[in-house]
Structure 1
Amino acid sequence: VHKRFVDGSFQAIYSTRRCVEASRKAVMMSTDATYKVNFHGFPVLTLAMVDYHNHTFPIALAICGNEKIDDYRELFLSTDVGAAKMGLPSHSPSFIMADGAPAITRAAGQVFPAAGRAMCWYHMKKNVETFMRGLKMEERDENIIMRDLSYVQLATSQKAFFEMFRLFAAQHEPRHPELLKYIRESWVQNPPYNTWWEGFAPRLPSTNNGLESMNNQLKIKTLREKLPLGTFLTLVQSKVVPAYSEVLNYASGSGDRQFEDIDDLGASKSLFVSAAKWAENEAMRMVELPQGTYVFVRSRGAAPSYLSLENVHKFLGTLYGSFEHPNFVSIAAMLSKIYMVTIPHGETDTDIEDVDGSPTVAFNDGHMGPFGFQQGGSDLMSPLRAMSTNFIDIPPDDFSITKVDVT
């Protein structure tokens, strides 16, 4: 679809018409590099689009002379180059998800200046874990740090993120000053690498793991051998990129998954029935706001009385970052005991059952154990999660409660 050879640097980028056309609706694009797939050691860069159901769809593959700004820039430009040839409009995603590679950040800023640069939470964690190993910290301390850092990651707004980190630092800095200095300078006060909190890209994945899995599949296709360049390019053109396209071929029915836009998410009838049965015996507080109905439910470890109106206010203030908890233990305890489900006004049981406008959960851990969705080896919130997404849908900070009901 696109190639460039300048001053010893080169980029050869492969895609298909179907992939280019699909890229026009990408809200989040992710990118990553992989090595050891060709004899010459040239890096292979992959560009993918990610949907609201954590599905990753590779749409372009580049073999480059390096892994520098120019290489990522040409990769990002390639889908618009292909689109122009097809008479399609240019397109910019709202978010670029990747690890902390500076070349990706610079290239994304040049090609997609309006896109948010989302930092992969998984890579952030791995960097912190590596730093802790260098400090030779006790394993128990490492586990506590990572557990509490996972609570910070659950922030739904930038204000809440900074407030949660402030309490996190107050909790751990006395014992681990060098570690907290590293986290603060590298991952909190260092934009754009401080965008690993959940609410930065609502409803979208907070890691790049889906694309990394795809890169592993590429290595499987090459039998983990370093192929001669000609052989590798033949494989890319005959099997790898056509497979990208076939996954997007919904009309043929051959695709095992489908790109889901924000309005496509929902629950199957069987999962909705499971959720309804669970809700029959579960204490919950329903709060009516102008924006919709907000349902607050408790975790297994919290008593029904914990769902007081006062705690509901504190919980919402925690989401905004406007409620000042006395310490980190307090904020972690609240996030472990209350969950919020939102139901937009105007939705009926039939709408929900038919997967139209399904309820949404304020937090969906997906890859974060400490929030409490998974306890004692079972999925406590599975019925609600089954009919939910990870959309962080909270009322405005100046919300006014119009009705309260406890069931």
Structure 2
Amino acid sequence: MEYFQHEWLERNLNWFEGVSKLIPSTNNALESFNRVIKDENTLRERLPLSRVVVVLINTWSLQYTANAKTVHAVPTLNLGLWTKAYQWATEKKKKIVSHVNSEGYVYFIPAGQSNEVTDLEETLNASFSTFEEFKTVAFSIWTTTIPNDSNKWIEGTCNCPGFFKKLICKHVVGIAIRLKYANPPAEAKSVPIGAKRRRGRPSKARQALLVQ
């Protein structure tokens, strides 16, 4: 534990995922960008640099100017995430502890099968003798922060693994639903609590009435 303290907490502080919450955890976006260049512009041919620059300037620059290509500044919310967030928000099992600071509202959410946060102060200020103890405590509570401005709730942050991957998670959306900052679509409410949404587009036609 002394080695871990010196090497990874004092010497190398920024080794872990989540050290900065609003940066990508993978290079998936960059690889997707490269694929578009190869499929639509270079046609997977080895071109000289001058030709590549001309192709990109003549196509992409004009597309961005004409708003044909857009850059998303905030995460996108799909129906699956809305459904998970609504089901999580409507469950009354988990007891959440909330605080208020300069950044906004901070919520401490029990993770896994736990239904309540116990000994919060001791958990936040705990010291560990082994890495396993540290890992157990670190993955026992998720910390979700929602801005004070209700119109900026989507800029909230969380330290759960799902947030680090997509920069949005069911905890942020679920807290916004509880605070009535966000209103989920009707399709998200159609799935029974505890059930999973089926794959594919939800059906808009209702079942016909059965006549006895």
Q: Helix, strand or coil: the match of 1:341?
A: strand
Question: What is aligned with 2:51?
Answer: 234
Matched, 1:254 2:84: no
TM-score (norm 1): 0.33
Q: Helix, strand or coil: the match of 2:112?
A: coil
2-structure distance, mates of 1:204, 1:226:
31
- AA aligned to 1:288 is H
* Contact 2:18/2:164 (8 A) holds in 1: no
Matched, 1:222 2:3: no
Question: What is aligned with 1:383?
Answer: 170
Relative distance call for 1:297 and 1:222 in structure 2 (3 A) is same
1-structure distance, mates of 2:2, 2:76:
32
2-structure distance, mates of 1:189, 1:218:
40
Relative distance call for 1:240 and 1:299 in structure 2 (3 A) is same
2-structure distance, mates of 1:165, 1:368:
27
Correspondences of 1:323-334 after superposition (within 5 Å)? 323-334=126-137
Q: Helix, strand or coil: the match of 2:139?
A: helix
Relative distance call for 1:299 and 1:222 in structure 2 (3 A) is same
Identity of aligned residues (%): 20
Matched, 1:298 2:139: no
Relative distance call for 1:164 and 1:313 in structure 2 (3 A) is farther
1-structure distance, mates of 2:27, 2:51:
27
- AA aligned to 1:299 is A
- Alignment deviations for residues 124-172 of structure 1 (CA, whole Å, 9 cap, x no partner): xxxxxxxxxxxxxxxxxxxxxxxxxxxxxxxxxxxxxxx89816x9xxx
Correspondences of 1:49-64 after superposition (within 5 Å)? none
Question: What is aligned with 2:182?
Answer: none
Matched, 1:279 2:93: no
Deviation at 1:329, TM superposition (A): 0.9
* Contact 2:145/2:156 (8 A) holds in 1: yes
Structure 1, unaligned stretches of length 5 or more?
1-162, 170-183, 318-322, 374-380, 389-407
Structure 2, unaligned stretches of length 5 or more?
176-212
Segments of 4+ in structure 1 off by > 4 A?
A: 266-274, 366-369, 385-388
Deviation at 1:226, TM superposition (A): 2.8
| From 156, 163, 173, the counterpart of 1:360 | 156
Question: What is aligned with 2:191?
Answer: none
Q: Helix, strand or coil: the match of 2:108?
A: strand
* Contact 1:266/1:387 (8 A) holds in 2: no
Higher relative contact order (CA 8 A, sep 6+): 2
Q: How many residues align?
A: 169
Matched, 1:245 2:48: no
Correspondences of 1:5-404 after superposition (within 5 Å)? 166=4, 189=11, 195-220=14-39, 221-227=41-47, 229=48, 233-237=50-54, 239-246=55-62, 248-249=64-65, 252-255=66-69, 257-260=70-73, 265=74, 275-282=85-92, 283-291=94-102, 292-301=104-113, 303-305=114-116, 307-308=117-118, 310=119, 312-317=120-125, 323-345=126-148, 347=149, 351=150, 355-358=151-154, 360-365=156-161, 382-384=169-171, 386=173
Relative distance call for 1:244 and 1:328 in structure 2 (3 A) is farther
Deviation at 1:304, TM superposition (A): 1.7
2-structure distance, mates of 1:316, 1:273:
31
Q: Helix, strand or coil: the match of 1:304?
A: coil
Deviation at 1:216, TM superposition (A): 4.1
- Alignment deviations for residues 240-285 of structure 1 (CA, whole Å, 9 cap, x no partner): 2344425534xx4422x4241xxxx367597667624421214132
1-structure distance, mates of 2:26, 2:158:
18
- AA aligned to 1:286 is V
Pairwise CA RMSD = 4.2
| More strand by percentage | 1
